[in-house]
Structure 1
Amino acid sequence: MSDPIAWLGDGTGQGRWGTPQTLTLPISDRGLLLADGLFETLLVEAGQAWLLDEHLARWQSSAMLLGLPPPPVAATVKPLIAAAIERSGIGTAQGGSGALRLNWSRGSGARGIDPPRISSPSFWLQLSASKPCFEPVRVIVSPTETRSASSLLSRCKSLAYGASIQARRQALEAGADDALLNSSAGGLCCSTSANLLVCRGGSWITPPLSSGCLPGVMRQRGLETGLITECDVQKPELLTCDAAWLINSLNCRPISHFHDAKLKNSHWEDPETAWRRLLTAGGFKHLKSAESSPG
């Protein structure tokens, strides 16, 4: 497996290559001290970063929303990504794939939380070997962590992941793999790192953005193609739904158990086929059950 590769610099594309262990941020960086920044995670496969334009668009709009300096534009980012893929070999080997993370911090400033008047933002990327995962996942609902329906941070892929970390820790301690988060507005919102999709009555739904869920890139693909619609999701619905999946840019995992209850997830296209169809602007479909198929 290829070793991770990293680059650290500024928004103009001036920087240096190294590894995640050798490249360092100054300890005054607000991304390190206050989680004052954003990131995007993309799939690298077949020598390219998938859905790059969609991720960069969310990156730019999120920075504007949080009052951060504008992140690097595509003309700056694309050559660096190409160089990272070439240097690492990740995503170019047969069957090879990776996770590319783009990070943007407000940079260093004086002590305290007030944003500096003049910012010197930090930009770094990391490319690590990683295979998309489609294995079933057991979930619980976090007993303490919720997703704010009104917070600006809920609309962005912020560096502030403390709540998700605690919810994932609770899931692991309970013998599960992941946790779902309640929305402060009521109902379920998302998981610690993925959007929630639920199939009921032959149609796929996902909690609306008003729940505080992240506007995921794959989620948006499904909405734009009309394969998914927004609708509130309540906890009891998971026990009676046709299927429930967790989806993001790297994975699509069916929920096998909700707490101790086993979910159906029956008669549907397998998650990888569905995810890849959505990745390439297609979609996923309902498959007939074996009982109703001729012959």
Structure 2
Amino acid sequence: MITGIAWSEGIWGEPDSLHLPLSDRGLQLGDGLFETVLIRDGCPQLLNEHLARWCISAGQLGMRNPPAQSQLEALIAEAVERANLNQGDGALRLNWSRGSSQTRGLDAPTEIKPRFWFTLLPWTPTFMPIDVIISRHERRNADSLLSQCKHFGYAQAIQARSEARVANADDALLLNTKGDLCCGTAANLLVHRQGAWLTPPLNSGCLPGIMRGKALKLGKSAEHWLGNALQFGDQALLINSLGCRPIQRCDGLSLVPCSEAETLWHSLL
């Protein structure tokens, strides 16, 4: 598989060959939700957890329920076959837009048909150490319902990542609107401090990440406020469904090297 594969409204094709109507609210307004699922040796990992979060988020935002798991499993299996990923790894992105509207404006029409599409691209989970900064310009809104959902609007994360690149770093950590460490641009934050792995609580504004949730459920991590900066003696990781990257430096502060990132990540699948 070179360019990946996509499906939209019953049509298969390459991601660049399929199109959305210009009236789609996901395209116009970022009005939609998505899930990114790891495919390993042809099998979607933690699919139940991803789809549960998807449905919860749709309910929170007043959207209709996404497609049923039985429908998705058949489509995913066919996508894996078409992409020849039975023995490989990939990143599956499931997209759920509120749909097309024939009128402009923010208000969603009461009669509107939501739209579903997905892409499957080759992906190798990554565990390489990174340097980060704490963004000076972007903050997660601890009180916003959107912070609890994996929605289409990633402009803030893009800006924070760009800020990190200008500072010769790989990624950025985000404080929340109350000034506490919250998360990375596209991953949850785990910090090993005082003998335990800790992660900010959900009311910090961090996304309820799937791997974060598994670490809590299995007792490998606990919720705890982390303050406004990483500390000397900390180990730190940015973790999501597609990898787990140790933080080696934050704003120039060298952290304790972490050699268990890959082992921890695999233990959560």
SS in 1 for 2:76: helix
Which residue in the other structure is 2:195 paired with? 202
The residue type equivalent to 1:32 in the other structure is L
Identical-pair percentage: 52
Which of 244, 256, 266 is 1:264 aligned to? 256
The answer on whether the counterparts of 1:43 and 1:249 sit within 8 Å (CA) in structure 2 is yes
Q: Which amino acid aligns with 2:60?
A: L
The separation in 2 between residues aligned to 1:4 and 1:134, in whole angstroms, is 23
Q: Does 1:252 align with 2:247?
A: no
State the secondary structure of the residue aligned to 2:56: helix
Q: Distance in 2 between matches of 1:163 and 1:3?
A: 27
Task: Report the equivalent of 1:65.
Answer: 60
Q: Quick check: 1:43–1:50 contact (8 Å CA) kept in 2?
A: yes
Which residue in the other structure is 1:274 paired with?
264
Cα displacement string for residues 183-212 of structure 1 (whole angstroms, at most 9, x for unaligned residues):
112311000000000001110100000000
Q: How does 1:100-179 map to 2 (within 5 A)?
A: 100-109=92-101, 110-179=103-172
Measured in 1, the distance between the counterparts of 2:7 and 2:167 equals 37
Q: Which is further off, 188-197 or 109-118?
A: 109-118
AA of the residue aligned to 1:197? L
2:3 aligned residue:
3
After TM superposition, give the deviation of residue 235 of structure 1 in Å.
Answer: 3.3
Instruction: Say if 2:215 is the partner of 1:222.
Output: yes
- Quick one: which amino acid aligns to residue 267 of structure 2? R
* Per-residue CA distance 1:105-152 (angstroms, 9 max, x = gap): 001112111011111111000000010000001100111100001111
Q: How far apart are residue 68 of structure 1 and its match?
A: 0.8
Give the whole-Å Cα distance in 2 for the aligned partners of 1:66 and 1:117. 14
Output one character per residue of 1:141-187: Cα deviation in whole Å (capped at 9) or x when no partner: 11110000111110000001010010001001110000011111231
Q: Give the TM-score normalised by the residue count of structure 2.
A: 0.97
Q: Measure, in 2, the Cα distance between the counterparts of 1:200 and 1:165.
A: 29
- The answer on 1:38 being equivalent to 2:33 is yes
Match of 2:19 in 1: 24
Which of the two has higher C-alpha Rg?
A: 1
Give me the whole-angstrom Cα distance separating, in 2, the residues matched to 1:61 and 1:257. 36
1:284 match? none
How far residue 58 of structure 1 moved from its aligned partner, in angstroms, is 0.2
The 2-side partners of 1:248 and 1:210 are apart by: 19
Q: Tell me the matched-pair count.
A: 268
Query: What runs of 5+ residues in structure 1 fail to find an aligned partner?
Result: 10-14, 280-295
Q: Kindly indicate whether the alpha-carbon contact (under 8 Å) linking 2:232 and 2:254 is maintained by their aligned counterparts in 1.
A: no
- What does residue 80 of structure 2 align with? 85
For 2:249, give the aligned amino acid. H
Q: What are the ranges of 5 or more consecutive residues in structure 2 without an aligned counterpart?
A: none
Normalised TM-score (structure 1):
0.89
What secondary structure, in the 3-state scheme, does the structure 1 residue paired with 2:111 have?
Answer: coil
Write the deviation string for residues 55-114 of structure 1: whole angstroms up to 9, x where unpaired.
000000000000111100101111000000000012x23xx2110000000011121110
Are the counterparts in 2 of residues 69 and 119 from structure 1 also a CA contact under 8 Å? no
CA contact 1:84–1:127 (8 Å) conserved in 2: yes
